[in-house]
Amino acid sequence: MPNWAHNTLTVTGPREQLEAFVEKAKVSHANAVSDYENWPKYDEDSKPATLEEYEIQLAEKQPLTFAAFVPEPPENRIGENWYHWRITNWGTKWDASFGEPFIGLSTGEGSDIEKSVEAKGATVTKDTLVYKFDTAWSPPTPVVVAMGEQHPELEFVLRFGEPGGGYAGEVSVEGSEVIETVLELDEVLAPEEMWF
């Protein structure tokens, strides 16, 4: 079982572009079919009974998938290269993990984001999108860099903290410009997120 890095990804830009990003970030039907058909043999016991059941689970639990921005080769899922490929290309061994589905799109003052995002580092402005999720051991920095390259009209800020390892930071991406900053855990995480 890994230590979990807690992540808050804030995306800012024109609302129309943010809405397009939300749709792209979801697991597509084609990806769901591929995932289901290439389910790892080591994890066969957790495979849902049908593809339809799997797609329902994804829709409820996965509003953001790294594969939408850095697709994993299908052959990776059945071999032993998946771990090294993911660490290299995603920065973490598993996809984003949502304790409960969380995605918020700000509509300005009085928005639901202001009420539902209480962790430090979550910015609320008129045109802001916020995802809160966990990753195994480390943040998905390569994925956020790919997001910036694929969506230069948007700005991405990933704030992360991993209490077990005692590290935190911020990755800011706008187009091809990437700025990484080391931060203290208490600058990034709320007290209730300081578990490991």
Take residue 178 and report the two structure tokens written for it. 């990437």
d(CA 57, CA 104): 19
Query: 168 Cβ partners below 8 Å, 6+ apart?
Result: 159, 160, 161, 162, 182, 183, 184, 185, 187, 188, 189
- Say which amino acid occupies 52: E
In the DSSP assignment, the letter for residue 97 is: B
Q: Give me the phi and psi of 194, to 5 degrees please.
A: -85, 40
Beta-bridge partner residues of 11: 129, 156
d(CA 144, CA 91): 10
Q: Please, where are the H alpha helices in 38-179?
A: 51-61, 82-89, 112-116, 141-150
pTM exceeds 0.85:
no
Contact 26, 69 (CB under 8 A): no
What pLDDT tens digit does each residue of the chain (196 aa) get?
A: 568 899 999 999 998 898 889 888 887 666 677 777 877 777 888 888 888 888 777 766 778 889 899 998 877 766 678 889 999 999 999 888 887 545 555 545 544 444 444 433 333 456 888 888 899 999 999 999 999 999 999 999 999 999 888 899 999 999 889 999 999 988 888 777 766 4
d(CA 131, CA 71): 20
C-alpha distance from residue 158 to each of 10, 37, 76, 77, 135 (Å)? 6, 32, 27, 27, 12
